[in-house]
Amino acid sequence: MDNEKKTLLSIRNLKTYFVMDEGTAQAVDGVSFDVREGQVVGVVGESGCGKSVTIKSVLRIVQKPGRIVDGEILWWHRSQDGQEELLDLSQLDAQGKRMRNIRGGEIALIPQEPMASFSPVHTIGSQLVEAVRLHMDVSKREAKRIAIERLQEVGMPSPEQRLDAYSWELSGGLRQRAMIAMALSCSPRLLIADEPTTAIDVTTQAQVLNLLRRLQRERDMSIIFITHDLGVIAQIADFVVVMYLGRIVETGPVDDIFHNPQHPYTIALLESIPTIHQASKELLPTIKGSIPHPFNRPAGCPFYPRCQSFMPGICDKRTPVLEPANDRQSVSCFLHHNSSEEEGQADETALARARAQVSVN
Amino acid sequence: MAESTNGNKPVLLEVNNLKKYFPIKKGFLKRVVGQVRAVDGVSFFINEGETLGLVGESGCGKTTTARCILRAVEPTAGEICFLTDDGRTVDIATLPDEEMRVLRAQIQMIFQDPYASLNPRHNILDNIGEPLFVIEQMTDREERTERVRELLQLVGLRPEYMQRFPHAFSGGQRQRIVIARALALNPRLIVADEPVSALDVSVQAQVLNLMLDLQRKLNLTYLFVAHDLSVVKHISDRVAVMYVGKIVEMSPTDELYYHPLHPYTEALMEAVPVADPRVRSAMTELEGDVPSPSNPPSGCYFHPRCRYAVDICKKEEPELIELRPDHFVSCHRAGELELEGINRDNHIDEKRIKTLN
């Protein structure tokens, strides 16, 4: 079904590096995925996997010394008279007029901490009106009407009065709703939600997730949903991208990722998370070790030092690329294919032997 | 699990009607105009060798409760009875400072943020060795080094690392160091305040396993404060649910998760997103927000958000009663309501069992 929908955003081989005196952090190292119209793409990964830097690159708000060093961010731009145009966001001037129109207008962001994202000295209303008037040529009164309408849409009780409230007067849940109203103020085609439920309680989280699901259905909007919570991903995403140390390790439809994971990291991650359905007081299976520091990335596959299926001489020598493992999922792992970044292919017989050994273990 | 709650084990900590009010001061004269009832009559007990999980939304007073037990904040009223290692029962709430100082060796705390709870200017040896020096008067450096070596091995870190400074360690390793420091004085009760919520998901499991393992080895008792229901279920023998400064329900873990008696517990269970795309239920929302502890509603504090509320809930405050053996609940309608816990049949579960075999 998704294949018939038009692509809205296509990230191709994106590389965003932070070049510092101490070394270079390859925060995003060759990430490629597409977002189609009306699709909810979930990006999962632990801290330092590059999920936030990826979306900051899309919005062109990566902070110095971060820089997009390679790759394309293709965006199917639609102007107000309905004209379509293909833009490469990585080539635009980050402070330029075109990028400013797209940012907030066509691609909106719900940041992680609503407390830190609202100005404490301006009312919610003035900030909403400002956002609307920045992207739409409307009068102040009209902008205020739109602001009230958006607040109503996100289920804010008595929206007219809330316009005069300051962000610190609202509770966590209402503040996050106001943030969503602000992101929706200009009817974006793509909404990026960066861990929107991490800082809030589970009951409020349910409210926010239900709200996002409803808005997505009503507006047929695309969402990139970033989180480390697999429960949230399972509930909201159509398509899942799993990242580890700046690279994509696996992509696929949400059902396949949860019920038929292919990459050893995805499998281990799903097993190691305590779920509410598990028997208590039992030891969890764990992923050994911890995430390496970005300056000491292991050579070859970044996951090999922690991997259960490590194949010596293969995984630590060459870096796998993302290739289809079946007709729905793509994996970057030598257990599934033999394509690496380096030129030339490894000896197939040696690889087959190594794979056989791993399955014996 | 059942054997840990069979009642043969002595009660290590019993908290009775604990209260902590923070005054709200206003104006030039700083007159007290109101009170934040952070902890408002909390009672619970922990048997020796078991883990009590304390859950609730932010602002419900779970951290303040934990801090009162260590007298990091002075309780306003109530009793905190602790069974010391020489068999006496003392009331921590009224203990003179000098005795409390000695007693603190038996009650240690693990904090949420491992980045903020280690002194960055001390190496690991000094960080872990400090309580040995201060409380146990272990002035001999060799002796202290030997003990730190043992402790590091106990928490699964290499003893060679003890000369390094905290910045050289990852979050999970730092939390291990914090645990080693907490264990330095051979405590009997460990109060863990959100010990894994600042950690990465793949590291959370390691730290939880370590805590379970240490409990078995050293017969430790935990008070485990957290907001994550899955983590609490994983580590606890019994669970207490807090709402606006009060305990609303307390029972053995499985009983609470599968057969809750309080509507708030039911709502919490329903709000947890199921990690399975095939079980895409509409997560039932709890309407409204947590009331302010400075101005709580009348009667049962939960009644404005409760879908089962009747007249009596608005007028009278329910008592915490033992409705079933070892299952305490404070709700006027408990027992007559048929509440749903979490659903036992789940696809992920079956798969998990398969992969574990």
Predicted confidence at residue B214, as pLDDT, reads 94
Q: What is the predicted pLDDT for the residue at A79? A: 75
Asked if the C-beta of B244 comes within 8 angstroms of chain A's C-beta atoms, the answer is no
Burial of A24: CB neighbours in 10 Å, binned 0-12, 13-18, 19+:
middle
- Shortest Cα–Cα distance, B287 to chain A (Å): 8
Q: Quick check: B178 pLDDT over 80?
A: yes
What are the chain B neighbours of A282 within 8 Å (beta carbons)?
234
- pLDDT score recorded for residue B5: 45
Q: Per the CB < 8 Å rule, is A231 touching B272?
A: yes
Q: Residues 170-189, chain B: which have Cβ within 8 Å of A?
A: 170-173
For residue B269, list chain A residues with Cβ-Cβ distance below 8 A: 276
pLDDT of residue B281: 67
Expressed as residue numbers, the domain containing B306 is: 1-121+165-357
Residue A308 is assigned to a structural domain of this protein: yes
H or E stretch at B269: helix B263-271
Of A148, A163, A187, which marks where a domain is finished? A187
Average per-residue pLDDT in chain B?
86
Residue B286 belongs to some domain of the structure: yes
Among A142, A171, A187, the domain boundary falls at A187
Q: What is the mean pLDDT of residues A266-274?
A: 87
Asked, for residue B150, whether it belongs to a domain, the answer is no
Give the chain A residue whose CA is nearest to the CA of B50. Answer: A281
Other CB atoms within a 10 A radius of the CB of residue B236 amount to 26
- A 10 A CB-CB count for B30 gives 9
- According to DSSP, the residues that pair with B81 across neighbouring strands are B14, B91
pLDDT given for residue B191 in this prediction: 95
DSSP run (H or E) holding A357:
helix A348-360
Chain A, 116 to 175: residues with Cβ < 8 Å from chain B are 171-174
Q: Is the ipTM of this complex over 0.90?
A: no
A30 CA: distance to closest CA in chain B (Å): 23
Question: Min CA distance, B95 vs chain A (Å)?
Answer: 34
Tell whether A142 is covered by a domain: yes
Distance, C-alpha A14 to centroid of its chain:
14
Judge contact between A237 and A254, C-beta under 8 A.
yes
- pLDDT confidence band for A360 (50 / 70 / 90): low
Mean pLDDT over A234-253 rounds to 93
Q: Identify the residue among B58, B170, B202, B354 best suited for mutation to test binding to A, counting A beta carbons within 10 A and taking the highest.
A: B202
Nearest to B275 among A171, A207, A231 (CB): A231
Assess if residue A219 is contained within a domain: no
Judged by a CB distance cut-off of 8 A, whether residue A276 touches chain B is yes
- Residue B349: what pLDDT? 43
Tell me the torsion sign for CA atoms A279, A283, A286, A291: positive
The residue of chain B nearest to residue A207, with distances taken between CA atoms, is B285
- Give the pairing of strands B321-324 and B327-329: antiparallel
Q: How many CB atoms lie within 10 A of CB A341?
A: 11
Q: What is the pLDDT of residue A2?
A: 45
In this predicted model, what pLDDT tens digit does every residue of B40-95 receive, in sequence order? 999 999 999 999 999 988 888 899 999 999 998 999 999 999 998 888 899 999 99
**A193 within domain boundaries:** no
Tens digit of pLDDT for each residue in A297-356?
Answer: 888 899 999 998 898 888 888 889 999 988 999 999 999 888 887 766 667 777 788 888
Contact A276 B342 (CB under 8 A): yes
Q: Is the pLDDT of residue A292 over 50?
A: yes
Number of domains composing chain A: 2
B140 lies in some domain: no
Strands B11-26 and B77-83: antiparallel
Q: Is pLDDT above 60 for B350?
A: no
Q: Which of A228, A229, A286 sits opposite B205 (nearest CB)?
A: A286
The whole-number pLDDT of residue B232 equals 92
Task: Please indicate, yes or no, if residue B114 is contained in any of the structural domains.
Answer: yes
For the segment A156-167, the average pLDDT, to the nearest whole number, is 88
Could you report the per-residue pLDDT of A182-237, keeping only the tens digit for each? Answer: 998 888 999 999 888 876 788 888 888 888 888 899 888 999 999 888 888 999 99
Residue A278 has its nearest CB partner, among B172, B234, B280, at B234
pLDDT of residue A298: 87
Q: Using a CB-CB distance cutoff of 8 angstroms, which residues of chain A are in contact with residue B273? A: 205-206, 209, 229, 231-232, 234-235
The pair of structure tokens assigned to B138 is 């272990």
**How much of chain B, in percent, has pLDDT values that exceed 70?**
92
Burial of B256 (0-12, 13-18, 19+ CB in 10 A): buried
String of b and e for B81-120 (b: at least 16 CB within 10 Å)? bbbeeeeeeeebbebeeeeeeebbbbbbbbbbbbeebbee
**CATH code of the domain covering residue B245:** 3.40.50.300
- Residue A77 counted as domain residue: no
CB spacing of B283 vs A210 below 8 angstroms: yes
Give the CA count within 13 Å in the CB-facing half-sphere of B173.
Answer: 18
Window 295-334 of A, Cβ < 8 Å to B: none
Q: What is the pLDDT of residues B231-287, one digit of tens each?
A: 999 999 999 999 999 999 999 999 999 899 999 999 888 888 888 888 776 666 777
Local confidence band at A23 (pLDDT 50, 70, 90 cut-offs):
confident
Smallest Cα–Cα separation from A165: which of A191, A108, A218, A127? A127
In a domain, A147, yes or no: yes
Residue B125 touches partner A, C-beta closer than 8 Å:
no
What is the extent of the structural domain holding A128?
118-187
Q: Is residue A65 part of a domain?
A: no
Residue B179 domain-assigned (yes or no): yes
Measured CA to CA in angstroms, residue B74 lies from B40, B112, B146, B323 at distances of: 14, 21, 36, 32
Q: Is the pLDDT of residue B102 over 50?
A: yes
Q: How far apart are CA A183 and CA A168, in angstroms?
A: 18
Mean of per-residue pLDDT scores for chain A:
87
Cβ within 8 Å, pair A273-B273: no
Q: Would you say residue A295 lies in a domain?
A: yes
In a domain, B146, yes or no: no
Q: What angle do CA B343, B348, B349 make, to 5 degrees?
A: 65
Asked if pLDDT for residue B189 goes beyond 80, the answer is yes
| A183 and A268 co-located in one domain | no
In contact, B317 and A246? CB cutoff 8 Å: no
Note the pTM of the prediction, 2 decimals. 0.84
Tell me which residue of A65, A2, A9, A63 sits closest to A34, measured CA to CA. A9
Domain end position, chosen among A187, A205, A238: A187
- Mean pLDDT (whole number) for B111-125: 90
Residue B343 predicted with pLDDT over 70: no
When scoring B251, B348, B350, B356 by the number of chain A Cβ atoms within 10 A, the one with the most, hence best to mutate, is: B348
pLDDT at A144: 92
State the total domains in chain B: 1
What are the residues whose beta carbons fall under 8 Å from the beta carbon of B102, sequence distance 6 or more? Answer: B135
Over the stretch B318-339, which tens digit does the pLDDT of each residue have? 999 999 999 999 999 988 888 8
pLDDT above 90 (res A174): no
